[in-house]
Structure 1
Amino acid sequence: MIRKASALLASALAAVLAVVALPAPAHAYTPSSGPIFNNPRGNLAAKDRILTHVVRTIESTPRGSEIRIAAYSNDRPDVAEALIAAHQRGVRVQVVLNDNWTSGSTRRLVKVLGRDTNRRSFVAICAGSCRGGFGNQHMKFYLFSEAGRARDVVMVGSANLTGYGARVQWNDMYTTSNQPALRELYTKVFEQLVRDRRIAEPYIHRTVGDYENEFFPMPSMTSGHDPVLERLDAVRCATSGGAGSGGRTVIRIVMYGWVDSRGLYLAKRVADLARSGCDVRTILSAPGGRVVRNLMAGGVQVKSADLDLDDNEDTGFDETPYEVFTHQKYMTLSGTYRGAVGYQVWTGSENWSNLGLHNDEVTIRIPGRRVHREYVANFDYLWAHYTRWLDPQ
């Protein structure tokens, strides 16, 4: 009898050890810090690269953790089902969207999570700018208290939760983890979005560690106090110490919506930088004609990522007649900024337009040579393969 019990105990112990030795489940994903980019001209994995990153992070959140998402739009069943599963295993799931379009996936999410913002999980849909009134909730940020082995995860970029964005648009997403103060800042902004009430001072400018963050709207702004113009004014075209090229500061800009009177004065300032000796290239989609003319007049090299690849001028969508375009809003700099030589990247949701002043928007500045190199590699790839030269309009 003792021998039999010992055999059973040994068998049970072996079974436990076998389970422990199994590899981690597929959902035990730890989001890596740094940028990722989708490729709408690649295979399905390349198209969905950003959304797969988001979904796998959602799937890796444990019971008792928190997910907070602010996006312009969502139509992805995989995202909705991952959020529902997270909610059902005890994760606090809170989502804020704009009211431009309520998809079937969003309705499914609302049906399960509800819209009561006093509950632990909910979907809030803002009518216009959540914090400013007129405009839109246009931010795209994704917050996770815990995912895999990472804590305090913040993702910021140009990507919404849509299939259209994956298969037609170029997008980017920057992820950072183990940054509790940064997640706290974004959580405070998220809580303002949830309340869906106009606030007196919606513009926030806050540096947390290495990251400089700006949140719009800024409806009372004048051209003399435009944060983007102030950024450009802090650039000097002469540089040294390894950054830049040939003693010149190098600037690369990818911008989806560079239009309107605001777009024009920003274009004139960028053109002035080129005249002053900066090496400036831009990739645009849906640009204003005066913006293009002023950039070219200053010697800026300008290409478009709006490509009609099948010459039918109709994709079946309202957003654009093109099969592929860039939805990114980033700027890179290698050279002199604020009196120091180094490497900078700005990315987020803000277009350089009048509407950008009234929307809920976010821009994050990320310093460092490595992240700069990765964004420039994305720029160079688009420049070489998926852009065309623009004629003066």
Structure 2
Amino acid sequence: MKLPWKRAVIGVSAAIAALTTPLIAPSTAAVAYTPQPGPIGQHPTATGAQSSPIRRAILDNIANTPAQQTIRAVTWNLNDQGVTTALINAHRRGVHVQVLVWDRNCGSETVHLRAVLGVAGDASFFRCIKNSARGPEGKGQLHQKSFTFSRTGTASHVSLVTSYNPTDDANKNQYNVAFQFVNNQTMHDDLKALFQQQMTDSPRAARCQTATPNDGRLFQHFFNGGYGVMAYPLDCIAEDPVITRLRTIPNPDQAVIRVATSGFTNERARRIAQELVRLRRAGAWVKVMHTAGAGPVVRSTLDQGGVTRLDTQTCGGAPANDISFNHSKMLLVSYVSAGQRTYRSWLGSDNMADSSINSDELMVQVPQQAHYQALTDFFDFTWKREAAQC
């Protein structure tokens, strides 16, 4: 396998210090809080001031949201009592706190927050979403993970999109990534519009391959020279954004592709695996990092196709020596187009599996080389750390 294209040294800080130091300015009483844009990585090996940077970014944003502003949280699970307490405190000082959680995770840990916020009203509320919020009746789940803030600290329109659920397990055992958009009204308003659809918990019609954008379940918007937001459910498998991205990579013999997921099973994963094999056989450098959820057909397809892969949970069948595992969902691609090397990063909640087709998932596209480098360094850090446990 050819080596990945040599990356230039960029002043975004090497691997964002392997993403152990968050790109978030700490808040103090003496200094105005200013959230910083960019990627954040969280891993269970960090300790002290470097631990749980995604969690700390969320907590800092909540703590610095002033009265009459709005926090919107969408997450698959929420049992981190520190985050719960922060949301309650924000509500009590006059912040509008609006929370959506998948109903099967609306257990005892959420009872107090639900009681404080209530279930109705247009200021603060907590709603348990049955199955998927926008997908077909009785199918899927609310799997999106995002926090938006109309204002926090000195910034407006802050959006944090992530693979991280605010849970004790995520804090202790998982590798996760996030991307924070600051003073970005387009992203904030896109996620606000999506939230307003989700909070009704009503299925949207499937309109596969229609001429009118965003009139069905799949929501896509690209802006500002390569940024983008993509929200599922999919209207049909034929419009799978991951398949489209892979099929449109030019000059595969000069492409570098990294895939990180914690699912990767069933028919959709098989189709994605076949595309990765096609690219590998055409000369691309391809690595896939997954968990025990990857099915035998997908594993076999990748192995026989020459794709390098790592199971961060079972180490090829044997139990890993620790309980940490990759929970990030990323597609990181570098390719050459018209003689220029281009960088694209996609991250969010999509496990690239059948379960995502009918579920509320959220992915964002980021075009900067610096952010691509930081995310690939975190990918490589995760791979090295987890491979050493086998």
TM-score of the alignment, normalized to the shorter chain, above 0.5: yes
Per the alignment, do residues 145 and 122 of structure 1 end up closer, same or farther by CA in structure 2, a change over 3 Å counting?
Answer: same
Partner of 1:119: 122
2:236 to 183, 199, 221: 221
User: Quick one: distance in 2 between partners of 1:115 and 1:180?
Assistant: 27
8 A Cα contact 1:303 1:389, kept in partner:
no
User: Quick one: distance in 1 between partners of 2:339 and 2:231?
Assistant: 24
Q: Does 1:42 align with 2:46?
A: yes
Q: Does 1:348 align with 2:348?
A: yes
Q: Does 1:233 align with 2:247?
A: yes
C-alpha displacement at 1:24, in angstroms?
A: 4.9
C-alpha displacement at 1:42, in angstroms?
A: 2.5
User: Quick one: distance in 2 between partners of 1:28 and 1:83?
Assistant: 20
SS in 2 for 1:382: helix
Q: Does 1:305 align with 2:319?
A: no
Query: Which deviates the most, 327-336 or 45-54?
Result: 45-54
C-alpha displacement at 1:28, in angstroms?
A: 4.8
User: Quick one: distance in 2 between partners of 1:73 and 1:383?
Assistant: 26
Q: Does 1:262 align with 2:265?
A: no
8 A Cα contact 1:48 1:166, kept in partner:
yes
Per the alignment, do residues 52 and 307 of structure 1 end up closer, same or farther by CA in structure 2, a change over 3 Å counting?
Answer: farther
C-alpha displacement at 1:338, in angstroms?
A: 9.8
Query: Which deviates the most, 371-380 or 228-237?
Result: 228-237
Of structures 1 and 2, the one scoring higher in RCO (CA 8 A, sep 6+) is 2
Please tell me the residue identity of whatever aligns with 1:296. D
Partner of 1:147: 152
Partner of 1:290: 297
TM-score (ref. length: structure 2): 0.84
Partner of 1:159: 164
Per the alignment, do residues 338 and 48 of structure 1 end up closer, same or farther by CA in structure 2, a change over 3 Å counting?
Answer: farther
Please tell me the residue identity of whatever aligns with 1:131. R
Residues 124-139 of structure 1: pairs in structure 2 closer than 5 A: 124-132=127-135, 133=137, 134-139=139-144
Please tell me the residue identity of whatever aligns with 2:35. P
Partner of 1:73: 77
C-alpha displacement at 1:46, in angstroms?
A: 4.3
User: Quick one: distance in 1 between partners of 2:53 and 2:258?
Assistant: 23
Q: Give the number of equivalent residue pairs.
A: 348
Partner of 1:318: none
TM-score (ref. length: structure 1): 0.83
**Bigger CA radius of gyration:** 1
C-alpha displacement at 1:352, in angstroms?
A: 1.0
CA RMSD across the alignment: 2.3
Please tell me the residue identity of whatever aligns with 2:335. G
Please tell me the residue identity of whatever aligns with 1:135. G
C-alpha displacement at 1:27, in angstroms?
A: 9.2
Which structure 2 residue ranges, 5 or more long, are not aligned?
A: 1-26, 206-215
Please tell me the residue identity of whatever aligns with 1:233. R
Partner of 1:7: none
Please tell me the residue identity of whatever aligns with 2:147. Y
Per the alignment, do residues 255 and 181 of structure 1 end up closer, same or farther by CA in structure 2, a change over 3 Å counting?
Answer: same
